């Protein structure tokens, strides 16, 4: 069931993307619309069944996944009210919203629980990291505004902060660049710092992912023989039969 839903979700998102291509939409528009309504009917049936089988339908309907499931079907029905004419722009917006069906994928991936646990465990470290980054770009942006000034394109502190963010993330649009030697020196230091900063959140999340995975594996430890590595849905040890 879950594997089939993943395939249907990916296919529905592919249909929306193909429909946004003018040449494909003009040639296969009728086929794409038929496929879209087929997916809409399937997701509607799934949503109704989830409401019907839920012990607390209202709680499910107002939960994150409940809202995502509703968002997967609602735009198609709302689009009926905006078929053409002056509502064409609203119609296009509603069609694009169907791309959010891909959010339903997380509902069917078992490893999402491990990822969610890792993100929750690392939120304080990530908060400190983001605060440090924001402080750095504000300070460097302010300094660059004083060093370069409006003649070099640094017309305000917010503009300078925007340049600092682009530079720190190693994106480098090139729309604003320092002209003075001191400004270039400060920019070079920020670029080198950017390479080091990029690795920090990756290391934090990776560490927490490993810890979360270990905690999950420990939970599948057999109390009888001590063997690990049981399947997530296993109820008994496959070696000694002890209940997990």
Tell me the pLDDT tens digit for each residue of 160-184: 999 999 999 888 888 899 999 999 9
CATH code where residue 157 lies: 1.10.287.70
The residue behind tokens 């770009």 is 137
pLDDT of 87 > 70? The answer is: no
Total domains, the chain: 2
- Domain assignment present for 182: yes
pLDDT tens digits, 97-115: 656 767 777 666 666 666 7
Q: Alpha-carbon distance 118 to 206, whole Å?
A: 8
C-beta of residue 176 within 8 angstroms of C-beta of residue 141: no
pLDDT tens digits, 6-21: 788 888 888 877 877 7
- Domain assignment present for 242: no
- Domain assignment present for 244: no
In terms of domains, do 71 and 165 share one? no
Task: Place 144 in a pLDDT band, splitting at 50, 70 and 90.
Answer: very high
In terms of domains, do 14 and 87 share one? yes
Of 50-59, 60-69, 205-214, highest mean pLDDT: 50-59
Output the pLDDT for position 72.
77
C-beta of residue 197 within 8 angstroms of C-beta of residue 170: no
- Domain assignment present for 128: yes
Whole-Å CA distances, 121 to 41, 118, 132, 209, 214:
39, 5, 19, 9, 14
In terms of domains, do 85 and 8 share one? yes
In terms of domains, do 105 and 128 share one? no
Using DSSP's 3-state secondary structure scheme, residue 31 falls into helix
- Domain assignment present for 31: yes
Average pLDDT over residues 183-200: 88
Residue 200, domain extent: 120-219
Whole-Å CA distances, 202 to 81, 108, 123, 191, 228:
45, 25, 13, 18, 28
CATH code where residue 14 lies: 1.20.120.350
Final residue in a domain of this structure, among 63, 81, 109: 109
- Domain assignment present for 91: yes
Is pLDDT larger for residue 3 or for residue 47?
Answer: 47
- Domain assignment present for 48: yes
Q: Alpha-carbon distance 16 to 4, whole Å?
A: 19
Output the pLDDT for position 91.
45
Output the pLDDT for position 104.
72
In terms of domains, do 50 and 127 share one? no
Q: Alpha-carbon distance 82 to 225, whole Å?
A: 64
Of 64-68, 86-90, 208-212, 219-223, highest mean pLDDT: 64-68
pLDDT of 88 > 50? The answer is: no
- Domain assignment present for 233: no
């Amino acid at each position: 069931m879950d594997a089939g839903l993943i395939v249907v979700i990916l296919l529905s998102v592919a249909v929306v993307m193909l429909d946004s291509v003018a040449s494909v939409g003009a040639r296969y528009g009728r086929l794409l619309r038929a496929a879209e309504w087929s997916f809409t009917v399937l997701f509607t049936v799934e949503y109704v069944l989830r409401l019907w089988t839920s012990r607390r339908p209202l709680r499910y309907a107002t939960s994150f996944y409940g809202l995502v499931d509703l968002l997967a079907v609602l735009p198609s029905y709302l689009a009926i009210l905006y078929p053409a004419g002056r509502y064409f722009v609203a119609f296009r917006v509603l069609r694009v919203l169907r791309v959010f069906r891909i959010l339903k994928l997380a509902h069917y991936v078992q490893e999402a629980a491990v990822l969610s646990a890792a993100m929750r465990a690392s939120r304080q470290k990530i908060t400190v990291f983001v605060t440090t980054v924001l402080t750095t770009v504000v300070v460097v942006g302010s300094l660059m505004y004083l060093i370069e000034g409006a003649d070099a394109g640094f017309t305000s502190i917010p503009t300078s902060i925007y340049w600092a963010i682009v530079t720190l993330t190693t994106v480098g649009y090139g729309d604003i660049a320092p002209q003075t030697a001191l400004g270039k020196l400060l920019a070079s230091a920020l670029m080198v710092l950017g390479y080091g900063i990029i690795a920090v959140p990756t290391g934090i999340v990776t560490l927490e992912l490993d810890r979360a995975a270990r905690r999950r594996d420990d939970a599948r430890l057999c109390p009888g023989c001590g063997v690990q590595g049981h399947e997530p849905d296993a109820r008994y040890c496959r070696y000694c039969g002890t209940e997990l």
